[in-house]
Amino acid sequence: MPTAEPIPEITPRQREVLGFIARFYAESGYAVTVRQICKAF
C-alpha cells in the first residue's frame, strides 16, 4: 500500500490569502469569489 507524503507548510503568501478569505467570510457571512481575491492581491 502506498504511503501518503507529508503535507508541506504553506507559504507566507498562501497564509496571507487564507487570512483574507477568513476575514472576508467573517465580515460578510458569505464566501469570497476568485475575482475578489485577485482584485485584493
Extended beta strands in 1-41, E state: none
pLDDT of residue 5: 81
Which set of grid coordinates corresponds to residue 24? 472576508
pLDDT of residue 17: 97
Q: Which residues of the chain have pLDDT under 70?
A: 1-2
- Type and span of the H or E element at 1: none
pLDDT of residue 19: 97
Specify the pTM: 0.75
pLDDT of residue 29: 97
pLDDT of residue 8: 85
Sorted by where each begins, the domain ranges of the chain are: 11-41
